[in-house]
C-alpha cells in the first residue's frame, strides 16, 4: 500500500481518539455527578425545628425547608439524599467522625463552630422570644429575662446567649435566669406549653411559626426584635473541601434558577433569603 494510505489511516485514528476525549470532557462539564461517583449523600439534622425540619404531624415523614433544600441540592449534585435525625448537640462531632457528609439543621455559622467545620451559608436568621399572648411576664429583650424562667434547646446559640445574659444579671445583683435546657426544641417547647417556663427561646423563624400556628394564632406572641443575627450554614468537614465546593456551586445554581426562592416561599421564610452562598461568612456578623 502507498505510504499516503497508512498516513491517512493513522491520522483518522488519532482524530477519532481526540474527538472522544473532547466529547467525554464536554459531558463531564455539563452533566451532574452520577450517584455512583459519590454514592448516597448522608445529611444529618435535628428534626424538631418547624418550619425548617420537623415530622409531619402523627407521622415519621420529615418535611420542612431544610429537608426540601437537601433534596434539591442532592438532585443538582446527582446524588440520592439520606436525611437522618440526630441530636443537635452532637451533630458536629458526628460529622467530624465521618458519620455524615453534611449537617443541614438550621445551624448558625458562628466563630466557635468554624473552628471545627466549614459552612456554606444559605439563610439569615436571628433568635426570638415566644411568650403568652398579652406578655404577662412583661418581657421585651434578653435583659428583661433576669429573674424569670425560660426554656431552650441544648447546644444552641440561644442557650449560649442566655447563659451570658444570666452572668450579666447576677453581676449587677438581679435575679438569675432559671434555664431549662432540653435535648430538642420540641421538648423545650413542651416545658413552655405546660406553663413551667415564661418564655421559649429559639430561632426567629421558629418562634414566628409557632406564634402563627399554636392555638389558632391567638394564644402566643413573639416579643421584641430578633437578636444575634447570623447566617445558617450547611456544615461540611474541614478536610472535605471538594464536597464543600460542590455544595456551594449547587446552592448557587438553585439561587440563580429560582428553586431556592420557591422553597423559601413554600415555608414562609422569604425574609431570610440570601442572594449568594458564601463560605464561613458567620464571623462577619459577630463582634
| Domain CATH for 243 | 3.40.190.10
Q: What is the pLDDT of residues 182-196, one digit of tens each?
A: 999 999 999 999 999
Residues with Cβ within 8 Å of residue 55, at least 6 apart in sequence: 47, 61, 62, 63
pTM, rounded to two decimals = 0.80
The answer as to whether 234 is a domain residue is yes
Is residue 14 over pLDDT 70? Answer: no
User: How many other CB atoms sit within 10 Å of the CB of residue 9?
Assistant: 11
Q: What is the pLDDT of residue 174?
A: 97
Domain, as residue range, for 67: 42-287
Q: What is the pLDDT of residue 286?
A: 73
Q: Give CA separation, 207 vs 41, 70, 103, 221, in Å.
A: 30, 23, 22, 8
The answer as to whether 36 is a domain residue is no
> Based on the structure, what is the number of domains in the chain?
1
The answer as to whether 49 is a domain residue is yes
Q: What is the pLDDT of residue 38?
A: 67
Is residue 36 over pLDDT 70? Answer: no
Q: What is the pLDDT of residue 23?
A: 39
Share of the chain above pLDDT 70, in %: 86
The answer as to whether 262 is a domain residue is yes
Q: What is the pLDDT of residues 132-178, one digit of tens each?
A: 999 999 999 999 999 999 999 999 999 999 999 999 999 999 999 99
Give me the phi and psi of 261, to 5 degrees please. -65, -40
Q: What is the pLDDT of residue 37?
A: 52
The answer as to whether 1 is a domain residue is no
The answer as to whether 90 is a domain residue is yes
Q: What is the pLDDT of residues 199-255, one digit of tens each?
A: 999 999 999 999 999 999 999 999 999 999 999 999 999 999 999 999 999 999 999
The answer as to whether 65 is a domain residue is yes
The answer as to whether 25 is a domain residue is no
Amino acid at each position: 500500500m502507498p505510504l499516503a494510505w497508512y498516513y491517512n489511516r493513522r491520522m483518522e485514528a488519532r482524530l477519532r481518539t481526540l474527538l472522544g476525549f473532547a466529547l467525554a470532557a464536554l459531558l463531564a462539564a455539563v452533566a451532574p455527578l452520577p450517584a455512583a461517583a459519590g454514592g448516597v449523600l448522608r445529611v444529618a439534622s435535628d428534626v424538631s425545628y418547624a418550619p425548617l425540619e420537623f415530622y409531619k404531624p402523627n407521622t415519621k415523614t420529615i418535611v420542612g425547608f431544610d429537608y426540601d433544600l437537601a433534596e434539591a441540592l442532592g438532585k443538582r449534585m446527582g446524588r440520592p439524599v439520606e436525611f437522618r435525625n440526630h441530636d443537635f448537640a452532637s451533630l458536629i462531632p458526628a460529622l467530624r467522625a465521618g458519620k455524615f457528609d453534611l449537617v443541614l439543621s438550621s445551624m448558625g455559622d458562628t466563630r466557635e463552630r468554624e473552628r471545627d467545620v466549614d459552612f456554606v451559608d444559605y439563610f439569615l436568621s436571628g433568635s426570638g422570644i415566644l411568650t403568652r399572648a398579652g406578655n404577662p411576664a412583661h418581657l421585651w429583650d434578653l435583659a428583661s429575662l433576669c429573674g424569670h424562667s425560660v426554656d431552650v434547646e441544648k447546644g444552641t446559640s440561644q442557650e449560649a446567649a442566655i447563659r451570658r445574659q444570666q452572668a450579666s444579671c447576677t453581676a449587677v445583683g438581679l435575679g438569675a435566669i432559671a434555664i431549662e435546657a432540653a435535648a430538642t426544641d420540641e421538648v423545650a417547647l413542651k416545658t413552655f406549653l405546660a406553663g413551667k417556663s415564661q418564655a421559649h427561646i429559639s430561632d426567629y423563624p421558629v418562634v414566628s411559626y409557632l406564634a402563627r400556628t399554636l392555638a389558632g394564632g391567638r394564644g402566643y406572641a413573639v416579643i421584641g426584635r430578633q437578636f444575634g443575627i447570623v447566617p445558617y450554614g450547611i456544615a461540611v468537614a474541614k478536610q472535605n473541601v471538594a464536597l464543600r465546593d460542590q455544595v456551594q456551586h449547587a446552592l448557587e445554581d438553585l439561587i440563580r434558577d429560582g428553586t431556592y426562592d420557591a422553597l423559601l416561599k413554600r415555608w414562609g421564610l422569604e425574609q431570610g433569603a440570601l442572594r449568594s452562598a458564601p463560605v464561613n461568612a458567620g464571623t462577619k456578623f459577630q463582634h
